[in-house]
């Protein structure tokens, strides 16, 4: 699933490790989500969005709207 | 050290597998020695023969406990995928070998080798994880 994690992280100058620590997941999880190789569960997607103070659709692109 | 190695549930899993592997080696050597020197018979022989198997069963239980304890959903998915690969691989080889053996095309192999195939399948699953979603899972990065 396409997402803006890398951009949002960069805006805050966070490393993948920083984001992983904030979400209490492994760095591998953040990397897999960020690169679109793993789609997070809905609860984790909410946690990610809430951490950035955004709505889910502002972080993740709906698969039906992907080009 | 990787973040995977820092997962508390993975540390517990690794510790359990290490202890069970040592137990397996001790039980197996003890059983081989006891049977070779005719030190056991009757119920004691059954106990001596089954103890190494119980250590292996313990490793299966350890994998189940890891899946229950792991709080990181991505790491859990990696292990589930590895286990599915392991089961598919072991069952496929065992089924094919079983039919070949029934038609007397190959020799007999002890059934405990299914466990060996299953553990080999975990390795295949780790490679499949690396190729598809980027991480080996389990102990690997």
Q: If contacts are CB pairs under 8 Å, which of residues 28-47 in chain A contact chain B?
A: 28-29, 31-33, 35, 37-38, 40-41, 44
Extract the tokens encoding A44: 């984790």
Residue with tokens 């890398």: A6
**Across residues A13-41, what is the average pLDDT?**
95
Residue B74 and residue B32 in contact, taking contact as beta carbons nearer than 8 Å: no
Q: Residue B75's closest chain A neighbor by CA?
A: A29
Q: Report the residue of chain A nearest B140, measured CA to CA.
A: A28
A34-55: pLDDT as tens digits: 999 999 999 999 999 999 999 9
Q: Is B74 on the interface with A (CB under 8 A)?
A: yes
Contact B74 A26 (CB under 8 A): yes
pTM, to two decimals: 0.86
The pLDDT of residue A19 is above 60 = yes
Instruction: Provide the shortest C-alpha distance from residue B118 to chain A (in Å).
Output: 25
Each residue's pLDDT tens digit in chain B (141 positions)?
344 446 889 999 999 999 999 999 999 999 999 999 999 999 999 999 999 999 999 999 999 999 999 999 999 999 999 999 999 999 999 999 999 999 999 999 999 999 999 999 999 999 999 998 877 765 455
- pLDDT tier at A56, thresholds 50, 70, 90: very high
CB-CB neighbors (< 8 A) of B129 in chain A:
none
Of B24, B31, B26, which is closest to residue B49 (Cα–Cα)? B31
Q: Residue B73: which of A35, A37, A44 has the nearest Cβ?
A: A44
Give the contacts of B31 (CB within 8 A, at least 6 positions apart).
Answer: B48, B49, B51, B52
Report pLDDT for B135: 73
In the structure encoding, which two tokens stand for residue A8, read together? 């949002």
B69 compared with A64, residue with greater pLDDT: B69
Q: Give me the interface pTM, i.e. the ipTM.
A: 0.91
DSSP letter for each residue of A20-34: HHHHTS-HHHHHHHH
Token pair listed for A22:
């904030």
Min distance A47 CA to chain B CA atoms (Å):
13
* Inter-chain touch B71–A24, beta carbons under 8 Å: yes
Predicted confidence at residue B4, as pLDDT, reads 45
What is each CA distance from A23 to A27, B41, B42, B101, in whole angstroms?
10, 57, 57, 53
Please answer whether residues A40 and A28 qualify as being in contact, where contact means their C-beta atoms are separated by less than 8 angstroms. Answer: no
């Amino acid at each position: 699933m396409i997402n803006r994690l890398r951009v949002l992280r960069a805006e805050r100058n966070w490393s993948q490790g920083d984001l992983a620590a904030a979400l209490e997941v492994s760095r591998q999880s953040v990397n897999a989500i960020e690169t679109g190789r793993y789609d997070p569960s809905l609860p984790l997607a909410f946690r990610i969005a809430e951490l950035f103070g955004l709505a889910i659709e502002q972080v993740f692109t709906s698969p039906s709207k992907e080009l | 050290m990787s973040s995977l190695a820092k997962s508390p549930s993975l540390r517990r899993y690794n510790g359990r597998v290490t202890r069970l592997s040592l137990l397996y080696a001790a039980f197996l050597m003890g059983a081989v020695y006891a049977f070779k020197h005719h030190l056991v018979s009757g119920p004691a022989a059954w106990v001596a023969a089954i103890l190494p198997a119980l250590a292996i069963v313990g490793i299966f239980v350890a994998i189940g406990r890891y899946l229950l304890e792991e709080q990181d959903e991505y790491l859990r998915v990696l292990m589930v995928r590895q286990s599915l690969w392991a089961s598919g691989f072991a069952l496929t080889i065992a089924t094919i070998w079983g039919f070949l053996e029934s038609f007397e095309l190959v020799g007999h192999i002890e059934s405990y080798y299914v466990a060996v195939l299953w553990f080999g399948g975990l390795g295949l699953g780790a490679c499949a994880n690396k190729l598809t979603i980027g991480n080996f899972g389990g102990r690997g990065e």
